[in-house]
Amino acid sequence: MLLGTVDHLTDQIRELDRLIACTLEEITTAYDGSGEGPSTGGVNARDLAEKLDAVPGIGPATAQIILAEIGADMSRFPTPEHLVSWAKLCPRTIQSGAKSTTGPAGQGNPWLKGALGEAANAAARTDTFLGARYRRIVKRRGHAKALVAVARSILVITWHLINDPDASYQELGADWHQRHLNPARKTRDLVRQLQALGHQVTLEAAST
């Protein structure tokens, strides 16, 4: 009886996979070729799912969930920030009189946030740009906020991949932050680390 139940559920999953694949084939978003909105031509949702699958942390099922929740037409979201705000992946500003503070993000779409959370958790364990971003933020903001930041980055990448039919994911590398970090800021961080270890630091410019 248990084996029969397993076979029945397996058949249902296979049928759902078939229906999802058919739906992706039917969804086509038109573009004018400039990456700024729909007009003529078309991009298949299956191709969009494959593009999203290249992003660290996003698998085929997650890509399908993201497309199901935000759609394949980004004209409703003029910028990535609009999409991030709609998904409630940015801090809220709470203003009381002249005082402004940041509060937790809202609820947003639970299915989208759940899929992005799983993708961010998977990307955090990779030796990629997103993984390095998580490791930089978790040291000062904690695990939960670091995951939200990575999920936000994944959603911004998603917007660009969907909005521009010619775009493809390009890995920046885990050392991107080190290569592009402001020299003065990097010096300040290193001095702070040495001072925390009990050293007195005196900086002197190297002779050229």
pLDDT digits (tens, 9 = 90+) for 99-145: 655 556 567 789 999 999 999 999 999 999 999 999 989 988 899 99
Each residue's pLDDT tens digit, 188-198: 888 888 888 88
* Nearest CA-CA partner of 57 in 136, 120, 151, 135: 120
Supply the pLDDT for residue 108: 78
Alpha-carbon dihedral sign for residues 135, 136, 140, 142: negative
**Nearest Cα to Cα of residue 163 among 55, 78, 90, 58:** 78
In contact, 63 and 82? CB cutoff 8 Å: no
Name the pTM for this structure.
0.75
Round to whole Å and give the CA distance between 90 and 97.
22
**What does the pLDDT look like over 20-67, one tens digit per residue?**
988 888 877 655 544 454 444 567 788 899 999 999 999 999 999 999
State the DSSP code for 91. P
Structure tokens at 129: 């740009």
The set of residues, in sequence order, having a beta carbon less than 8 Å from that of 26 and lying 6+ positions away, is 45
Asked if residues 113 and 87 have their Cβ atoms less than 8 Å apart, the reply is yes
